[in-house]
Structure 1
């Protein structure tokens, strides 16, 4: 009897153990290694979040923690503050107009050359690469870039009986503005205006790359010269603006919002192509003791893949930082209804660019101040 009781007890114990084991979450061992590595990424482009999610899905042993900030200027200030507090992210998106130099000078970030594949580096357009170069080192991994453009309401030209090809230089643009600025024979709120990347446009117009010259340009032509106007894009979309200086990044937005309300054209920024300064975005790498971990390097290599550079550029209405993609028929096909723009994109590869320098941020803000009373 005792033997029977012992056998029953062992059987019950075995069933209890089996039952408790069955309640254990599946793949506990696998889950112990999932997300044992983390990457922190601060950014202002929503499209990068999608790529980060895709990377995380394909690499379940790593967690990508992202922080989306409203715009590049705010992100730059937050990066300065985080570095001062000793808790910067692993990677951050950075604009090329300013923001990176103080991080280089303070030793907060490291050059990215060791993170780049030979193929990626070979296909980098020279002009956007230069915007992240200092002292023979590359300090951000370029992802994409934009170029300045003229968006022209065709009704403006019909009033002046001019062809769009007339706007082949800024003297011609200013001449038209001077001619029409005092006229009441049009419906426009303004003849020439610019959106909030105004300092970038001025630095492209001024071939000497001098803040003094750019400021003088404002003073000499303030009666008709464009000024930074936060409603300029809205005015143009509503058919109330003549010639808008804006970015290639706005092309698809403008097309969508105007629809068939009126006829308009996109034109090259009327300067010598070689002197063009693009604006772009890149990823910077903060100096940390664990920066050599496999997944942190793998993430940057993942972004460098042509498929992902192309996906980001198309979704973000920018130009991919890859010569091969730019010249590909599949990328050009996205803009087949804008033949002028297709040509502009290809010609942007001829730009020599402009190296970043310590004064970039001060010059940008000086141009804002020089113009702030002209709103």
Structure 2
């Protein structure tokens, strides 16, 4: 029985890891609490919910319907609201017990808003402080240290995966509350240039046709994969060797005419058309998951998504570590010939070796060698059956 337990334990451990890797769904958790239905609705509308679900070790500072009504009375755009709600998602686990046992009475923690790269300086951090009388205050770091919201109660706790706690009202942050431009007002190249993709942005600006294609797709949905400056700068000589039509197709190849959040890219693996796709000119790419990484692949090379510059429907912009090359413009590296099979190599060696005379059997009869071989094969077969029988007996004994 002990041996059987040792066989089962690794299986149970793997099952536990699988279950805990996707252990929460914020929409389902909040559905148990009707007084938080508005907060739940806007988490989904702004696509903050899928980002919460793909993370572990996280805390949601939930707002009830009254607090959400006060927040919505200021008429924030859906893009601004996404920043505000992202500020209410802490990238650490705080349940009610931990909130009342904060070391030195105060802690500064990062939020999802800070992780998006949209928060300047320290504006994406939240100060949590334990106060007199058991109160716990919360305040955005860019709000002059003012703790404007307080802990009310715990709604859901799954240690140490996700905690959902209620606070009195929305956190105040100049950066998160700032009006965020809608898609028609978005300057794609400014966004790229400010976050490590200036070479690609400048190259795109120098090609009015490709730039116009990007602009035309913003309203309907657009995802951009932007090569970082160093790899793009090194690639420019190859780009300049393309024809004018090749330049345009190459630049358009880095855009997809639909909005794809990171969670969508993780779940929608496979071939995707690009802005350069034109009938038989496929110019497509393949999205694949590689562990926690998302990779893009053509017949020529493979690149990895390294960061998110913007993720506000209908536009997403991601950085990639190398320049992805379409097979329509660049040739794939030749496939090396397969190495000779071991048997073939051995046969070739035998063919080159001098023939060796056959050794005589002890009594000079080749039939005796055959008999000896048969006897050896029989012994081996008997040993195999004996081992199999012993193994079966052991297994039956364990059961």
TM-score between both structures, scaled by the size of structure 1: 0.25
Q: Which one has the bigger helix percentage? A: 1
TM-score between both structures, scaled by the size of structure 2: 0.24
Q: Taking CA–CA contacts closer than 8 Å with sequence separation of 6 or more, which of the two structures ends up with the larger relative contact order?
A: 1
